[in-house]
Chains A and B, each alone.
Chain A
Amino acid sequence: DADVTQTPRNRITKTGKRIMLECSQTKGHDRMYWYRQDPGLGLRLIYYSFDVKDINKGEISDGYSVSRQAQAKFSLSLESAIPNQTALYFCATSLDNDIQYFGAGTRLSVL
């Protein structure tokens, strides 16, 4: 089983809908991250969490919210999806300021 699991793997939704992307990890790390990947832009950080009570905005948090339900679970929500949120979303975990471990990604299309 994967150390970092993202669900769903693919999602198509309509403009204005609320959706949630989920991430769970078995590595026992305190730190978790949400990124989006767009062609030619690399990965950009949306939100990060250093523990259950510590959640912070990243570079591009507008239009997104997160919930850290437990050490192992970190969910990303799009309150009202819009087409320019169509992207590949990755969850990651880390022990410290070193290696990050990524899930397989969620491909989201907003029509």
Chain B
Amino acid sequence: GDSVTQMEGPVTLSEEAFLTINCTYTATGYPSLFWYVQYPGEGLQLLLKATKADDKGSNKGFEATYRKETTSFHLEKGSVQVSDSAVYFCALSDWNDYKLSFGAGTTVTVRA
């Protein structure tokens, strides 16, 4: 079945550092890929998405590129801020399926 593997955390960074969170997936069909973010005390919200190979999703300075050849969707941000401290989830939704498959989540803490 479909599955998502993302790098384990926690990750602790200084402000303005570069952030990468690795995500790889297994899917039988043609999935859409998502990054969701969960800020402290809140529910998950969509950060960005990509629906086909080579698409790049971007939002709030974050980017991720849908790489079919490596089955990856790594999240990157060039200069993090304290406000980026959150838990980040990689997820996929297959085109003929109803559900999201989530990775385990990566906790990111950015220090001033």
Contacts and interface: CB of A to CB of B under 8 A. Distances in A.
A55 to B, nearest CB: 12
Interface residues of A, number: 23
Interface string A23-60: 00000000101000000111111001010000000100
Interface residues of B, number: 24
Contacts, number: 53
Query: Chain A CB within 10 Å — which of B32, B94, B102 has the most?
Result: B102
B25 interface: no
Interface of A, secondary structure class, is: strand
Contacts of B34: 99
Contacts of A40: 104-105
Contacts of B105: 40, 42
A100 interface: yes
Nearest to A31: B98
Nearest to A104: B43
A92 B34 CA distance: 15
Interface in B81-112: 89, 93-100, 102-105
Interface of A: 4, 31, 33, 40-45, 48, 50, 58, 90, 92, 97-105
Interface of B: 4, 32, 34, 36, 41-46, 49, 89, 93-100, 102-105
What 7 pairs between A and B have smallest CB-CB spacing?
A: A102-B43, A42-B102, A102-B44, A42-B104, A43-B102, A104-B43, A103-B43
